[in-house]
Structure 1
Amino acid sequence: METLRAKPRTYGNWRKPTSPGILGLGLAPTVALLAGLVVVIFTLLVSMALAFVLMVLMCAALGPLMIRDRHGRTGMQWLSTRLAWTMAKARGRHLYRSGPIGRIPPGTCQLPGLAAKTRLLDATDAYKRPFGILHIRSLDDFTVVLQCDADGAALVDDDQVDTWVAYWGLWLSSLGSESGLAAASITVETAPDTGERLREEITTNLRTDAPELSRRVLTKVMNDYPEGAARITTRIALTYEGRSRTNGRRRSAEEMAAEIGTRLPALTSGLSMTGAGAAVPMTSAQIAAAVRVAYDPTVAVLLDRAQADQSTGLRWSEAGPFATQESWGHYRHDSAFSITWAMSDAPRGEVFATVLQRLLAPHEDILRKRVTILYRPHDPGTAARIVERDIKDARFKANQAKKASARNSVALTAAEQTALEEATGAGLLRFGMLVTATVDHIEKLDLAASAIDNLSASARLVLRRAYGAQASSFAAALPLGLVLPRHARVPQVVREAI
């Protein structure tokens, strides 16, 4: 008898949103180019010198938009980033000081940057479970954080892994139907285990009349086991809009807490079949402790000891760092140094379910590592319009080229496949990724950067260091529900058209 082995399941068919245009330009620059050419032609009838000046000005304005690097960023984006960084540094905005010497309310350590205008509230869901709700006052958004105890894929059959992935895709698809949901993020953090949880478990369960041999074995395990062990934490942040999409009414924090509390049981139960394990909402104290450790890893041991006593006593006004200093390529916060990368290109072609396994695993050259996947779901009506527009854009680019391009053909096929899946009930959402590597000495930054480069290559990802935006990228990689496009000054519609 022959044993038929199933073919490993692969995943993919994602595509990067593009704007139709000519000469590598987007829609808005293309319209500006055509309008400028018409003006130049009519100006030739009046003065050739004036027409030449207009042509030079048009080339100077549109030239940087035609230059793109390997990450797809235009010369205009690079110049604007460098100019914004220079102006912010000249005004001293790259420095942050809190506590007794800070300019914020004395004695407090509020979060810096994008997370400065936030407050943390206590609420209770429909299962009477306490949870913390984060109010981002600058945008009137509300975020709730779920903590998962992921099962892991070790010694798990491929069929079970494929089932987990299928249910995870179903859970993500359901986010598009979640009323008022603006974004979601999944943060997987790896860090050295402090050993305090194991110590607390052993000391509380050890009997006084236990045999001497058992006591010696447990004591040795308690002292030696935490050395070299890693702690992997998975958190899911869900961000809701405070304003109603139907009538635009601004809802209060109490109304949002009650509404989100009724939805949490269904959201947490839907994660049980995805391999995420038991998903429970995080309390205010747990969220504050997680953020405090991210900015100062040296307090992890103290907070674990405090949590063993069922109370950390940490308030949201004390969760921020004492001092930070942002540089062009890295970020210093209290006792640690961090570098954050942003995904500029997803894996091309088809991938297996284990494509991110090495990137998510602990690394000996990195003290703490966070991999955050950002999602922005679209409702069914918007998704239908987007997939149809993507097909038109892909056909425009394929017909524009004089010679058939394999990349344009693949993009058109992917767009048509996405439209077919959406028409049969699949969801549509945008996704990105942020990777943060934290070390305890500045000399280790280069080693950590080399490690991330190797890990991203194995994951078939193209990562770009967030130059000039290390502080905001670091905050966005935390489970705080910060949606970076909503904080940008340039509207999203304008950015997509460029």
Structure 2
Amino acid sequence: MAAEANKPRTYGNWRRPTSPGLMGLGTAGTVALMLGLILLVFVVMAAGLLGGLIAGLVLGMVLLVLLVKDRHDRSLLSRAATRAGWANARSAGAHLYRSGPLGRTPWGTFQLPGLAAPSRLSEHEDSYGRPFALIHVPFTGHYTVVLASDPDGSALVDQDQIDQWVAGWGQWLANLGEEPGVEAAQVTVETAPDTGHRLRREVSTNLDPDAPALARDMLTETMAAYPRGSSQVRAYITITFRAVGATGKRRSAEEVGRDLAARLPALSGSLAATGAGAARPLSAAELCEVVRTAYDPAAGPLIDQVRADGEATQMAWNEVGPTAAEARWESYRHDSGTSVSWTMTQAPRGNVHSSVLERLLKPHRDIDRKRITLLYRPLDPARAAAVVEADLRAAQFRATSNRKAVARDVVATRQAQATANEEATGAALLNFGMVVTATVTDPARLDDAKAAVDNLAATARLRLRPAYGSQDAAFAAGLPLGLVLPRHLRVPAELRDQF
């Protein structure tokens, strides 16, 4: 029993829901197959064997497009649709962005591009008197609030305390499903070089002029040498709420701000049990600085200098976008930075420890700025039961549709059964994903940054895929803006999962 108590705790059983179907097809693909076979019979009856042969070849090509998939579980149809969408965007010039008085936009401001273009920003005050920024996206009807935190880190911390933090984080995510109006949440961990302005200001304001010369010289040398090679780590938690309230009426920003003013202290205070440290809401000015630095890394040291001098940047929401941006097939050029974004296509298989993402989250010398964004979409408890039961039936159908049992299908059935059992006993259900963004100030170092992310993803046992043809959208999704990507798709995600 003592050995069992000292055994390290592991985590796993992450599962992507599937739809039942034949030959590896989903429900919609199986329906298309049946309709194709019926149509093939009528073609043979009407046009003979030759016409049936041609129709059979066409049907076989359609099935080939749906069945042939790559290591990221993307079919030929999905990849062809991505290529067609990218070609359409390039022909329309949608991959280029020029803003400001000399730009192509008629309003003459530095508005955010792409998915974040229609967003609006307002500032409110919670019941503790803390100002907080509220982002409104009219297209999806969402409101987002951003919390900043200073994580405690796992250095010199007992494993029991880390396990408690993980359990607290799981409980915080589970409570989101019970929180009224919550649509999604995300956690962004950003690493960047430390400019040293905050250290110099702290030392300069507290330096005693009567201190010994040796102490003063040591502190001066520390101020000059310490920022070299050091990094700063910042964490942001965003919570996205629906504009439609319990009464079914769409609420304005003022109404949502008054509602969140009373709820934010509890939401931010409960993060203390997760190891996130003291969480506080970001003000409108602070959020503008975060977004501006992401699109223009060269502005980061200037903003830190202004903050170190005790002054305000006085930036508005229509001034934080890039002056020029160009989305390419596998990279994104924006002002003084060039970025590449990846999306997670498979969570770690098997059981992992709580430190599985540690190396991925740490600063890396080949990447100037790195953002790891975890995306969460909590499912309503009333809907979660139907989702896990449907997934269990789909797994059982796949396992019994083959004459010979396949090991992966058997394991998938066990995982689906375990998920259904946990949900039945009160566990929450969430859909989650990840966006990784690496930014460099010198385009010549972009290949080194790509290689670094590939190596870090392997240590985290993640399967990452570059966001080909959607680098600008993935870059925006990785920012603490609370963008819910499935709501911006032309083809609903629920329909895509049926193939």
Residues 324-345 of structure 1 deviation map (CA, whole Å, 9 limit, x = unaligned): 1111010101011110001011
Counterpart amino acid of residue 280 in structure 1: R
Counterpart amino acid of residue 57 in structure 2: V
Residues 97-146 of structure 1 deviation map (CA, whole Å, 9 limit, x = unaligned): 11121122555211100000011100111211110001112212111001
Query: How far apart, CA to CA, are the structure 2 residues paired with 1:90 and 1:3?
Result: 64
Q: CA deviation at 1:366?
A: 0.6
Residues 194-223 of structure 1 deviation map (CA, whole Å, 9 limit, x = unaligned): 111111111222233333333222211111
Q: How does 1:476-491 map to 2 (within 5 A)?
A: 476-491=477-492
Residues 23-65 of structure 1 deviation map (CA, whole Å, 9 limit, x = unaligned): 1211111111112211221332222244334333333333211
Q: Which residue of 1 aligns with 2:215?
A: 214
Query: How far apart, CA to CA, are the structure 2 residues paired with 1:249 and 1:51?
Result: 55
Q: Which residue of 2 aligns with 1:493?
A: 494
Q: Which residue of 2 aligns with 1:414?
A: 415
Counterpart amino acid of residue 256 in structure 1: V
Q: Is 1:141 matched up with 2:142? A: yes
With normalisation by structure 2, the TM-score equals 0.97
> Which range moved further: 50-59 or 380-389?
50-59
Q: Which residue of 1 aligns with 2:197?
A: 196
Q: CA deviation at 1:247?
A: 4.5
Identity %: 51
Q: How does 1:78-227 map to 2 (within 5 A)?
A: 78-105=79-106, 107-227=108-228
Q: CA deviation at 1:5?
A: 6.5
With normalisation by structure 1, the TM-score equals 0.97
Query: How far apart, CA to CA, are the structure 1 residues paired with 2:35 and 2:109?
Result: 55
Q: Which residue of 2 aligns with 1:262?
A: 262
Change (3 A) 1:104 1:12: same
Name the SS of the counterpart of 1:45 in structure 2: helix
What's the C-alpha RMSD, in Å, of the aligned pairs? Answer: 1.5
Q: Which residue of 2 aligns with 1:342?
A: 343
Name the SS of the counterpart of 2:15 in structure 1: coil
Q: Which residue of 1 aligns with 2:36?
A: 36
Counterpart amino acid of residue 422 in structure 2: E
Counterpart amino acid of residue 220 in structure 2: T
Name the SS of the counterpart of 2:11 in structure 1: coil
Q: How does 1:263-412 map to 2 (within 5 A)?
A: 263-308=263-308, 309-412=310-413
Query: How far apart, CA to CA, are the structure 1 residues paired with 2:22 and 2:384?
Result: 26
Give the 4+ runs in structure 1 shifted more than 6 A: 2-5
Q: CA deviation at 1:174?
A: 0.5
Q: Which residue of 2 aligns with 1:446?
A: 447
Q: CA deviation at 1:310?
A: 4.0
Counterpart amino acid of residue 345 in structure 2: S
Aligned residues: 496
Name the SS of the counterpart of 2:298 in structure 1: helix
Query: How far apart, CA to CA, are the structure 1 residues paired with 2:197 and 2:306?
Result: 10
Query: How far apart, CA to CA, are the structure 2 residues paired with 1:85 and 1:97?
Result: 19
Query: How far apart, CA to CA, are the structure 1 residues paired with 2:96 and 2:187?
Result: 29
> Which range moved further: 404-413 or 287-296?
404-413
Query: How far apart, CA to CA, are the structure 1 residues paired with 2:15 and 2:324?
Result: 40
Q: Which residue of 1 aligns with 2:238?
A: 237
Counterpart amino acid of residue 183 in structure 2: A
Name the SS of the counterpart of 1:497 in structure 2: coil
Counterpart amino acid of residue 357 in structure 1: E
Q: Which blocks of at least 5 consecutive residues in structure 2 are unaligned?
A: none
Query: How far apart, CA to CA, are the structure 2 residues paired with 1:225 and 1:22?
Result: 61
Q: Which residue of 1 aligns with 2:58?
A: 57
Query: How far apart, CA to CA, are the structure 1 residues paired with 2:342 and 2:178?
Result: 31
Query: How far apart, CA to CA, are the structure 1 residues paired with 2:433 and 2:32?
Result: 30
